[in-house]
Amino acid sequence: MNLHAMIPIPGDLHARYNRDSAGRDWLASLPGLISEALDRWGLSVDLVPGDEPWNGHGALVVPVVQGSTPAALKIAYPHEEALVERYALALWSGRGAVRLLASDDASCTMLLERLDASRWLQDAPLDEARDAWGAIMRELSIQPDERVEWRVLDHVAATAERWSDELPAEWDRLDRPFPRWLLEAALEVCQTRGAVGRRSGKDVLVHTDLHFMNILATTSAEKLSLRGDYLAIDPQPQIGEAEFAVAPILWNRIRDLPRTDPEAGLLERCQDFSRAAGLDPDVARQWSIAREVQNALWYAAKPRHSGDLARSLWVASTLAGNRLDALPRAHDLPDPGEAA
C-alpha cells in the first residue's frame, strides 16, 4: 500500500488550488512529490493516521523523521517567493530562522528542521511578541557577502521603482478605488525610500513576510541552544532596508489594538516593534504605507477581498495621518485571509 499517497490534503489548501488547471495539476502531483522526497532523503512520515499535515498559504508541510531526527518536508506550489526561499534560509543558516537541511529545486521541495507548529507568536501576548520579533529581526538582518545565493534575490529599491509605475496605472485601471492623496503618499515613499535604499549602503537580507504566524516556537531540544525560543519561517526574501519588514506586524492582530484609540495604538505598535529591532520607526511607517497601498490595489481587483481592502486602506491611511471616510471600525476589520 502506498502510504504516502494517503496523506490527506488540508481542505483550505485544496480549495485554494482547485480553482484553476495549474493548481489542480499541482494538487494531483503531491502524492508523487511526497514519495520522491521520502525516497531521496530517506524519510518516514511522522503523522498519526487520520491527522492532516500542516500547510501555509502556498505549501504542504509533512512532519517526517530522518533516521531518528524529526524534520519537516515542505512542498511549495512553484511561485516566485517559494523558488527563492531556500536561498535565504541557506544564507541565514539557522540564524533567527528555521534551518534548511536539504532542498530540491526542480520540485520546489525543502527538508527543514522541525519546529513546534502548535505555538506561534499569533497567540503570544504582544509584549512577548514584540521582544521575540525584535530579537529575530536583529538576527535575520545580515549584510550581503560573496556567497552566490545573494545574486538571485531582488532589491527592495527595485520593488519601489516598479511600484512607482505600476501603482498609478493600476489605480486608474481599477477606477480609482481610494483617494488620490493616499496613492500619492505611497508614491512619495517609493521615490524617496527607493533612492535612499540604493545609496545608503545599509542593505540587509529582509524577511518581507515576518508576521506573527510566520514565527514558530523552537522545540524543547532547541531551547537548550542559544537560538532563542522562536524562529522565522516562509521568508519571501529581498535585499534592502530592514524597515521594509515591519508592515506585516501592523496589518495583523488589529483587534489587539486598544479600542479607545486604535489609530494611536497602530502608530505606537510601529514605534515599539521597530525600536525592539533597532530600526527607525518613521522609515518603517513610510514603507508600511507603500506596502499597504500596493496590497489595497491587489485586493481592489478581487471583489471577494472587500474586507481585506478595507483593512489595508485603514492601515495605510492611519499611518499616513489622514482617516478615510466610510471604513469599518478597526475592530470590525477582518484578519488577513479571513474574508477570502
Output the nine-digit C-alpha cell for 149. 545565493
Is the confidence at residue 226, as pLDDT, over 90? Answer: no
Question: What does the block give as the cell for 247?
Answer: 508592515
What's the pLDDT at 331?
A: 96
40 and 104 in contact (C-beta within 8 Å)? yes
| C-alpha dihedral, 205 to 208 to 210 to 214, nearest 10° | -100
Across 228-235, average pLDDT: 93
Q: How many Å apart are CA 234 and CA 215, to the nearest integer?
A: 9
Q: Quick one: average pLDDT of 281-296?
A: 98
> CATH assignment of 119-332?
3.90.1200.10
Q: Which of 318, 291, 297, 336 is nearest to 156 (CA)?
A: 291
DSSP structural state of residue 146: S
**Domains of the chain, residue spans:** 3-113, 119-332
Residue 220 has pLDDT above 80, yes or no: no
pLDDT of residue 196: 72
Residue 85 near residue 235, CB atoms below 8 Å:
yes
Residue 224 has pLDDT above 70, yes or no: no
What DSSP line would sit under 248-309, residue for residue?
Answer: HHHHS-GGGS-SS-HHHHHHHHHHHHHHHTT--HHHHHHHHHHHHHHHHHHHHT-GGGHHHH
- Which residues sit opposite 97 in a β-bridge? 232
* Contact between 235 and 195 (Cβ < 8 Å): no
CATH 3.40.50 for domain 3-113, yes or no, is no
pLDDT in tens, 88-137: 999 999 999 999 999 999 899 999 999 998 899 999 999 999 999 999 99
Mean residue pLDDT across the chain: 92
Distance CA 150, CA 117 (A): 29
Who has greater pLDDT, 73 or 9? 73
Q: Would you state the pLDDT for residue 245?
A: 98
Q: Spot the catalytic one: 131, 203, 209, 234.
A: 209
Position 123: which residue type? D
Rounded to a whole number of angstroms, the distance between the first and last alpha carbons of the chain is: 37
pTM: 0.93
Known catalytic membership, residue 154: no
| Integer Cα distance of 242 and 134 in angstroms | 11
pLDDT confidence tier of residue 259, bands split at 50, 70 and 90:
very high
Task: From 133, 76, 119, 75, select the one nearest 252 (Cα to Cα).
Answer: 133
Look-up: residue for cell 520522491? 36
